[in-house]
Amino acid sequence: MNLPNYFLADLPPEATLSPTMIFEACQTLKRNRERYLANRTTPSLVNFFATLAENWLRQEFPFRKFALENATATGFSRPTLERGLDNFFKQLTRENFRALLLQEFGNALDATSGAVPENAVAASAMSRATQRFWRGPEFQVHIGAGNIPNPALTSIIFGLLTRSAQFLKCASGSSFLPRLFAHSIYDADPKLGACLEIAEWRGGNVELESALFAEADCVTATGSDETLDEIRKRLPLHIRFLGYGHRVSFGFVAGEILSGPRATKVVSAAADDVVAWNQLGCLSPHVIYVQPGGEISPERFAQLLADELERRETQEPRGEISAEESAVIASRRAIYEIRAAHSPEATQHWCSRDSTAWTVVFEADARFQMSCLNRFIYVKTVPDLKALLESADAVRGKISTVGIAAPEETMIQWAAQLARWGVTRVCPLGQMQNPPLTWRHDGRPPLADLTNWTDLELPL
């Protein structure tokens, strides 16, 4: 497949971007929005993205085939990329979009089309007296991170759904999948694709980014806390800024569920979360905490997880990583090899032979430990949720997701405590890196955060 030069990211590597090119691209996007996007109805956009997602799930879809044939350009193995794409596009159904719109806007009217989301609750007498309309920004800028592609693809979808022209600035070396997705939009609807720009450069290019920020109504960014602080300082005060900084996640397994066939399913679910996108997302676990008292001890759980990760490596290999990343894993392994030799009752570890493909470390010390990722997982033992939260106090306020394997009643009780502690998402173990379309990123509304409202007060 030869991709035409529709986007700045399509230019050859030797091409040099300039502030003038960025300014002209922004002006073109704004004009195209007025012509082709501003008057699109929400139902038509929902139908477009649901149909496009159905195509991405088809094995013969040219853009999917091209992505998988060039999986190395993404940094993931073909099986890992295939699973990630399937999980992402399976969420983009008409039913899920309707649930998202109802969650975000209720029965509010769309300022552009006057359409009401399906299944909206009937308006009361008071709501009939005050009608509410929402509208998205004219022009959005997205600053993407380079770890996994999902946030960038979601930003594109949500931006167009709010009828905003948008410019996605990808991290250096990470534009392949967003660019391919943008081409699939252009191929299906050239007018809609003309309201989107994809570019790639190394972060911190003040000249290019200043030209870009000067045109924006809203800027969203995903990255380190330091990156977000720098962006925030450079934005004019009138520009809305939505930043999603560094977050970490962990799993928690109830001892009572580690018996019989359920135990095998729990181990498999934990492996799913470690393998998904090679554990590189903020929703991926650094640690899996396990309660003692079940038929399978926490130490045995760690060993079974190691066996499962070894099996997964033959089916869904991690793929190549940089020499620097491999060196970090090798160095961390050496530390635990020494600890295990001196205190086997407190530390055990298992790892892939002749590679850094996967690593499992069991520690009796329950303190939260940051993983070096790329399928490097800690398993720790805690007697209960209270002890777990005390052990993770150092990262309180930075937890995104907790994946739980427990009976439903226990899961609900734990979720209530985790919510009070500040966790923004609790899900079943095995689904940590696969949030629903309605997920509130960092506890914030995904669409309503982007929009402004107009109230129409009618005479009583």
What confidence tens digit (pLDDT) does each residue in 57-110 have?
999 999 999 999 999 999 999 999 999 999 999 999 999 999 999 999 987 777
Q: 425-451: per-residue pLDDT in tens?
A: 999 999 999 999 999 999 999 999 999
The pairs formed by 220-228 with CB atoms below 8 angstroms and a separation of 24 or more are 220/140, 220/141, 220/142, 220/143, 220/155, 220/244, 220/450, 221/142, 221/143, 222/143, 222/144, 222/145, 222/151, 223/143, 223/145, 223/171, 227/143, 227/203
Hey, is 164 helix, strand or coil?
Answer: coil
The C-alpha atoms of residue 225 and residue 243 are separated, in whole angstroms, by 9
Residue 117 has pLDDT above 60, yes or no: no
Between vectors from CA 381 to CA 378 and to CA 384, what angle results, nearest 5°?
130
For 147-188, the pLDDT digits (tens) are: 899 999 999 999 999 999 999 999 999 999 999 999 999 999
The model's confidence at residue 111, banded by pLDDT at 50, 70 and 90, is low
